[in-house]
Structure 1
Amino acid sequence: MTEQAQAQASAEAVTAALHDVAALGGFFVLPVGGPDEGWHPLDRASACGFTDLSAAVARRYRTGEPRIGVSIAHLGHAARLWSPALACVLLHGIVPDLTELQRADDGPALRLPRPAGWCAERLPDPALALNEQVMRHLRALEAGLRVKIAPRLLDGNAASALVGSAHVLLSARPELREPLTDLTTRLLGTGRLAGTGVITGPDLTFRRRSCCLYYRAPNGSKCGDCCLADRDGPSA
């Protein structure tokens, strides 16, 4: 029996954990089960490069620059992956198995058709397992993109989404500061997230080394963690 098989959590425990962290709101919502109508495999959406969501974002922000829509859609998707997974690990000691994730036909929402996951304490490296559950989906989306985007911009998006999720969790559960900061820091040093930015304060403020391009949209601005935030003018 493999280490992951030995670490498997019960379906009931995974479902309860995801239900609990959904109360944190927004990006932490990851429903389990329900009717199949209206959902399709996330891998299929990723293989198409999220062209529908990217176009919708571009229309919403009234930009004719396709890569802005792609980047913002990617950033939102990363937040929807990190938020429930990170909260489940910190609050319930469970790394959810995101392999079979599905995406809504009419928007960015995600769901799991069946609950699965692992008890973090039984895994040899919970942070590495969590990283892989999220980053595999972001790699798949990157491979399917129809618009050329700098890989380090996408890595910066993944890091920004991670720290943003951690910041929301810290605000809701300040007693988690130490383990949350430790896990977030460890994740920021793992794989492609390494070198994407640095935590700058005890409240998980962050400065990334790339830009999500939101400032290039009409009425857009530089985000709080943007590498351009202290510069007088934007760079391309």
Structure 2
Amino acid sequence: MQDARAPAASVTAALHDVAGLGGFFDLRAGGPDDGWHPVARSYATGFTDLAAAVARLHRTTEPRVDVSIAQLGHAARLWSPVLACAVLHGIVLDLEGLQRADDGPALRLPRPAGRYADRLDDGPARALYEQVTGHLSALAEGLRVKVAPRLLDGNSASALAGAAHALLALRPAVRGPLTALTTELLDTGRLAGTGVLTGPDLAFRRVSCCLYYRAPNGSKCGDCGLADRPPRRATRRDTSVR
């Protein structure tokens, strides 16, 4: 069997390239260890620090709202670089060893690693799904606040669709493979049944709600299942504290 592993230098170059897309696509590669900790440590404590930061920022009074918003932001920071590296560089990232900033939600891979998508026997979708969902499942297990599992699944799907929409706007030439991969992912495992793509720009309508509208100055997002009309575009709301 052909070795699917990509050289570390190629993975690092891919991460640097997609980080240039901005925002949620910025997954740090290498660098000094100071200021970072294993993200598993944050999962074990249920992201309590980020949930508290959300509460302060949005003046919320419902812990489940804080947790949902923090989880949604984390899902976006996972899906965006993972999807972009797969579509733009043909590399499926290995998120083992992922770290989180001590002072915020930023993520880092101290030793970038990945595999070539076209050398995977089952294609990239299942591998991408397992990488991201593995992290989100670990986070869900550590939550100190009860949140409906399908709400969290909907957040993951919303983050994926938002990543796809943003990537399409920035790199329209990849519409074909991006649409195909996103569609397959949304029909995989826990993402199946969470919502549907509604247009060629990869707008998405989820069947659940992230609860942001329950914040004092919150609103229903563009893909919200509670909204009255179908979304014209996907919504990327960074509601966590930088």
Tell me the residue number matched to 2:68: 71
Matched ranges for 1:49-128 at <5 A: 49-124=46-121, 125-128=123-126
User: Root-mean-square deviation (CA), in Å?
Assistant: 1.0
Q: CA deviation at 1:116?
A: 0.5
Tell me the residue number matched to 2:214: 216
Q: Which sections of structure 2, spanning at least 5 residues, go unmatched?
A: 230-242
Q: CA deviation at 1:58?
A: 1.1
Q: CA deviation at 1:34?
A: 1.1
Question: What per-residue deviation string (whole Å, max 9, x for no partner) do you get for residues 133-191 of structure 1?
Answer: 11100000000000000000000000000000000000001111111111000000011
Q: CA deviation at 1:35?
A: 1.2
Matched ranges for 1:1-236 at <5 A: 6-124=3-121, 125-230=123-228
Question: What per-residue deviation string (whole Å, max 9, x for no partner) do you get for residues 184-223 of structure 1?
Answer: 0000001100000000011001100100000011011100
Distance 2:209 2:81 in 1: 24
Amino acid at match of 1:155: D
Query: What SS does the aligned partner of 2:154 have?
Result: helix
Distance 2:50 2:14 in 1: 28
Amino acid at match of 1:129: A
Amino acid at match of 1:163: A
Q: CA deviation at 1:91?
A: 0.4
Q: Which sections of structure 1, spanning at least 5 residues, go unmatched?
A: 232-236
Distance 1:71 1:77 in 2: 10
Query: What SS does the aligned partner of 2:144 have?
Result: coil
Query: What SS does the aligned partner of 1:103 have?
Result: strand
Distance 2:44 2:149 in 1: 17
Distance 1:95 1:213 in 2: 31
Question: What per-residue deviation string (whole Å, max 9, x for no partner) do you get for residues 27-66 of structure 1?
Answer: 0011111111110001111111000000100110001111
- Runs of 4+ off more than 2 Å: none
Tell me the residue number matched to 2:237: none
Question: What per-residue deviation string (whole Å, max 9, x for no partner) do you get for residues 72-123 of structure 1?
Answer: 0000000000000100000000001011100000100000010100000000
Identity of aligned residues (%): 74
Distance 1:9 1:59 in 2: 42
Q: CA deviation at 1:16?
A: 0.4
Amino acid at match of 1:227: G
